[in-house]
Structure 1
Amino acid sequence: MAAELIATTATKSVFRDGEKAIKVFNADFPKADVLNEALITARVEEVGGINVPKVLEVGVFEGKWSITFDFIEGKTLQQLMEENPDKLPDYMEHMVDLHLNILSKQCPLLNKLKDKMSRQILDTEELGDITRYDMRTQLDSMPKHTKLCHGDFNPSNIIVKEDGTMYVLDWVHATQGNASADVARTYLLFCLEDQNKADMYMNLFCKKTGTAKKYVQSWLPIVAAAQLSKKRPEEADLLQQWANVCDYQ
Structure 2
Amino acid sequence: MKLEEKNLIVERPYKKVYKCDDSVVKVFETTHPKSDVFNEALNTARVEDTGLDIPKVKEVTQIDGKWAIAIEYKAGKTLEEMMEGDRGNLEKYMEDFVDLQITVHSKTSPRLNKLKDKLSSQINSLKEVDATTRYELLTRLESMPKHNKVCHGDFNPSNVIVAKNGKMTVVDWAHATQGNASADAAMTYLLFALKDQEAADMYMKTFCRKSDTAMQYVQQWLPIVAAAQLTKDNELEKDFLMKWIDVFDYQ
Deviation at 1:2, TM superposition (A): 5.7
Counterpart residue number, 2:38: 35
Instruction: Give the letter aligned to residue 175 of structure 1.
Output: T
SS at match of 1:170: coil
Instruction: Give the letter aligned to residue 31 of structure 1.
Output: K
What aligned pairs does 1:51-90 form with structure 2 within 5 A after superposition? 51-90=53-92
Aligned equivalents of 1:189 and 1:199: distance in 2? 12
Post-superposition CA distance 1:87-113 (Å, at most 9, x none): 111110000000000001101101111
Deviation at 1:28, TM superposition (A): 1.5
What aligned pairs does 1:141-160 form with structure 2 within 5 A after superposition? 141-160=143-162
Query: What is the aligned counterpart of 2:27 among 24, 27, 30?
Result: 24
Deviation at 1:246, TM superposition (A): 3.5
Contact 2:149–2:178, Cα closer than 8 Å, also in 1: yes
Contact 2:62–2:68, Cα closer than 8 Å, also in 1: yes
Runs of 4+ off more than 4 Å: none
What aligned pairs does 1:167-182 form with structure 2 within 5 A after superposition? 167-182=169-184
How many residues align structurally?
Answer: 248
SS at match of 2:97: helix
Unmatched 5+ residue regions in structure 1? none
Instruction: Give the letter aligned to residue 7 of structure 1.
Output: V
Contact 1:135–1:246, Cα closer than 8 Å, also in 2: no
Contact 1:51–1:166, Cα closer than 8 Å, also in 2: no
Instruction: Give the letter aligned to residue 19 of structure 2.
Output: R
Are residue 107 (structure 1) and residue 145 (structure 2) matched?
no
Are residue 116 (structure 1) and residue 118 (structure 2) matched?
yes
Instruction: Give the letter aligned to residue 193 of structure 1.
Output: K
Aligned pair in 2 of structure 1 residues 81, 96: CA closer, same or farther (>3 Å)?
same
Post-superposition CA distance 1:171-210 (Å, at most 9, x none): 1111111010000000000000000000000000111122
Q: Percentage identity across aligned positions?
A: 54
Aligned equivalents of 2:212 and 2:142: distance in 1? 24
Query: What is the aligned counterpart of 2:50 among 33, 47, 67?
Result: 47
Instruction: Give the letter aligned to residue 115 of structure 1.
Output: D
Query: What is the aligned counterpart of 2:244 among 228, 237, 242?
Result: 242
CA-based RMSD: 1.4
Counterpart residue number, 1:192: 194
Aligned equivalents of 1:92 and 1:230: distance in 2? 26
Query: What is the aligned counterpart of 1:10 among 2, 9, 13?
Result: 13
TM-score by length of 1: 0.97
Aligned equivalents of 1:225 and 1:219: distance in 2? 10
Deviation at 1:153, TM superposition (A): 0.3
Segment drifting more, 239-248 vs 146-155? 239-248
Instruction: Give the letter aligned to residue 116 of structure 1.
Output: K
